[in-house]
Chains A and B, each alone.
Chain A
Amino acid sequence: MSTTGLSRRNLLATGSAATLGLPSAGRAQTAAKYRRWEITDAAMPARVLDSYKKGIAAMLKLPPTDPRNWYRHAFIHVFDCPHGNWWFLPWHRGYLGWLEQTLRQLSGDPQFALPYWDWTKTPRIPAAMFDGVLDPNNAAYIAAFAAFRTHFAPAVQTLWGQFSPAQRAVLNARMIGSTNDLWQNFQSMFFARPNARGLTASNPALDPTTAAAVSIDTIRSALSDPLFAGNPDSADIGFASAKVADHNGGGDPSSKGILESQPHDNVHGAIGGPRGQAFMVSFLSPVDPIFFLHHGNLDRLWDVWTRRQLALHRPALPEGSDLATWQKEQFLFYRDAQGQPVSKTSAGDYASMTAFDYDYSPGSGEDQVPAAGAVVAAAQFRVFGAQITANAIGPRTPAAGTAQVPPEGLQALKVAQVTLDLQPGDQGRRFQVLIGAGDARPTLAGGITVFNHHVRGPTTFSVPLPPGLAPPAGQALNIQVLPLAPPSRAGLGLAPQAATRAVPLRGIRLVTG
């Protein structure tokens, strides 16, 4: 069978994407379990904000001794948040993800996912964020610092005694060596009602400098950065800000790429309002619920950038020894929906959105992801479908197919598209794709690592084909997909246990280029 043109749902995850275990490239994504909606999107279900409010109200009412208390959760940001370095994005991904699970639990909405705010589309605080507990000036919040200190002092004292030596080291690096230091920090970061948020319902617009910082031109510039992280003094600091020795700064200068220094920093500053005095300008900024919509959009743009990089066959994470350094950095303060310390403490655990199984409704900057591709648009591409001869990859047995390709097609073959029917438990599984003809020893075409954003349903991987495929006249090409042992490395969100499920092979197509 020979056809022209490809569906947009066919993902182009060739070369590095398939073999390095990175997320799928291109625009198309399989559905995640949870969707984070843009707050002004008319399609966003009303229950999203209802549940957000219900969850926040519940967290505000929890006693100060409960790690899930709304303010206690904001403390985590004071203790541990990285800024101006390459752990800025994964740390905040984890911070939002664990909060989302807590809100899901306490709101009683099993479908809850955080909304996000696309400030490029709407450069003002969305009106809905002034309703009820979505506004930190609501009466459910503590009115002033004195009352805050009285309410939390015993719990802070207890918490201090519970910190591990490793946590103490982090706090020391941030110049917090005692509860006294902590309270001095809190005092400088706390903003009394009615000034908890600097922009108001009657004056919600971002100032002109911030409007420029969130403009589509700035966002496109940020997304165009070809590098994840550069050195602090290099010409290209990187999309995710600069490499440093540890996420607390460790004496390195804070060097921020466009994403962090423009939309991130300026939106924080803008919500301080004309007086520049409100929670969003301080490390207690997560007291304001807009924090999580702001960082949701930054997290979404990281996903957009990742898919753009992969579509352009560029690295989407640090490379070489930098990758291991980046992955192993420890984040020690997160708590889960039960208020317990989490098991995922490495930066690498948050390299993909798989950690929390969510996706985003489309937003600004999505047009910077090259269409999946080039392949879609090019009518001259030819596709040769294979007849499946073995339709499942077992623990030790391959799946296979055969394809008849005419001589003129053989010369132009570029990619084998292999469609597997995946389940979440297949995350981290690896396969080899072999191709050959007749009785000749087959050639290794490439590898597949299941590391998509969302592992569910048919997913197509593209594997580059070796040049010079030349079966004897009339003979078909044989393609085999063999299982490999699952990876032992941790940190990329890969399932550590061996998966034994037979993975259905849904199709193989050979594509010219």
Chain B
Amino acid sequence: MIAAAPPAVLAAQAADAFASIELAAPRPVGPGDALWLQVATGRLPPGARLSLSTETGQIIGGVAPFPPGSPTRATVPVPATALSGQTVRLRLQVTEPGAPPRAPRSGEVSRLQLTVISTAE
């Protein structure tokens, strides 16, 4: 099960090619702010990677644990164009050698957290 920062809605079935998730920004995103997603992964199969894309299919980044399979916390920048109001809808997909892309399984993604960072110069 994916635990995400509320409010979040996760929709994925075991046979789905990806999971959808909706995350709310913790505060309004203004000029000079950046929207970043923190992703904590559990153990992934050897060689497996987690890919993140917007609802329209634009890939925004991935998590490739180094060394492979080890739990990790990664940071992925989220483009402003992915923001609708104060929420972002994302797709999560695991790719692993020799298998078709799939939605993350239980325990493979343990936390998703949207953060707003002030990067104003």
- List residues of chain A with CB within 8 A of the CB of B34: 221, 224
Q: Once the chains bind, are A261 and B74 in contact (CB under 8 Å)?
A: yes
Cα distance, A83 to B66, chains bound together (Å): 8
Tell me, yes or no, whether A226 is within 8 Å of chain B by CB.
yes
- Nearest-CB distance from B93 to chain A (Å)? 9
Residue of B nearest to A259 (CB): B75
Identify which of A210, A264, A277, A281 gathers the most chain B CB atoms within 10 Å of its CB.
Answer: A281
B 105-120 contacts with A by CB, 8 A: 115-119
Q: Are B67 and A283 in contact (CB under 8 A)?
A: yes
Contact of B72 (CB < 8 Å), options: A84, A224, A274: A84
Nearest A residue to B74, CB-CB: A261
Find chain A residues with CB under 8 A from B48 CB. Answer: 276
Contacts A253-B71, A370-B121; is A281 near B47 (CB within 8 Å)? yes
Q: In whole angstroms, how far apart are the Cα atoms of A270 and B116 in the complex? A: 29
Complexed CA–CA distance, A370 and B77 (Å): 21
A426 to B61 Cα, complex, angstroms: 44
- The answer to whether A218 touches B61 (Cβ under 8 A) is yes
Which residues of chain B from 89 to 109 have a CB within 8 Å of any chain A CB? 95-98
Task: With a 10 A CB-CB cut-off, give which of A221, A253, A266 has the most chain B CB atoms.
Answer: A221
Q: Is the CB of B75 within 8 A of A266?
A: no
Set of chain B residues within 8 Å of A211, measured between Cβ atoms: 59
B38 within 8 A of A: yes
Chain B residue contacts of A460, Cβ below 8 A: none
Per-residue A-contact encoding for B29-51, CB less than 8 Å = 1, 0 else? 00000101010100000111101
Does B83 reach chain A (CB closer than 8 Å)?
Answer: no
The answer to whether A256 and B97 touch (CB under 8 A), given A213-B61, A226-B118, A236-B117, is no
The proximity string for A residues 248-266 relative to B, scoring 1 for CB distances below 8 Å and 0 otherwise, is: 0000011111100110111
Within 8 A of B (CB), among A192-216: 208-213
A contact residues, range: 35 or more
Pairwise interchain contact A276-B117, C-beta atoms closer than 8 A = no
Residue of B nearest to A280 (CB): B66
Q: Are A255's CB and B73's CB within 8 A?
A: yes
- Given A255-B73, A312-B121, A370-B121, the answer on whether A269 and B96 have CB atoms closer than 8 Å is no
A266 to chain B: which residues have CB within 8 Å?
Answer: 49, 61-62, 64
With A256-B73, A261-B74 known as contacts, the answer to whether A281 contacts B68 (CB < 8 A) is yes
Which chain A residue lies CB-closest to B63?
A261
Pairwise interchain contact B62-A268, C-beta atoms closer than 8 A: no
Query: Which chain A residue shows the least CB distance to B72?
Result: A254
Specify which of A257, A265, A312 is in contact with B64 (CB 8 Å cutoff). A265
Decide if A282 is an interface residue (CB 8 Å cutoff): yes
CB atoms of B73 and A212 under 8 A apart: no
A405: CB under 8 A from chain B? no
Residues of the A chain whose Cβ atoms lie less than 8 Å from the Cβ of B74: 256, 261-262, 265
B117 in complex: contacting residue of A225, A254, A272, A370, CB < 8 Å: A225
Residues of chain A contacted by B60 (CB below 8 angstroms):
212
Assess whether A232 is interfacial by the CB under 8 Å rule.
yes
- Could you tell me which residues of chain A, from 450 to 491, have a CB within 8 Å of some CB in chain B? none
A283: chain B residues within 8 A (beta carbon): 67
Indicate whether B79 reaches chain A with its CB closer than 8 angstroms: yes
* Cβ of B17 under 8 Å from chain A: no
Q: Check B36–A221 contact: CB distance below 8 A.
A: yes
Which A residues, 265 to 297, have Cβ-Cβ distances below 8 Å to chain B? 265-266, 268-270, 272, 274-277, 281-283
Chain B residues with CB under 8 Å of A275's CB are: 47, 97-98
Q: Which residues of A contact B (CB under 8 A)?
A: 83-84, 208-213, 217-218, 221-222, 224-226, 232, 235-237, 242, 253-258, 261-262, 264-266, 268-270, 272, 274-277, 281-283, 312, 370
Considering the complex of A and B, which 9 residue pairs feature the smallest CB-CB distances, nearest first?
A276-B47, A269-B64, A261-B74, A221-B77, A209-B62, A224-B119, A235-B115, A276-B97, A255-B73
Taking A217-B79, A218-B61 as known contacts, 5 extra A-B pairs with beta carbons closer than 8 A to each other, sorted by chain A number, are A84-B72, A221-B34, A268-B64, A277-B47, A312-B121
Chain B residues within CB distance 8 Å of chain A:
34, 36, 38, 40, 46-49, 51, 59-68, 70-77, 79, 95-98, 115-119, 121
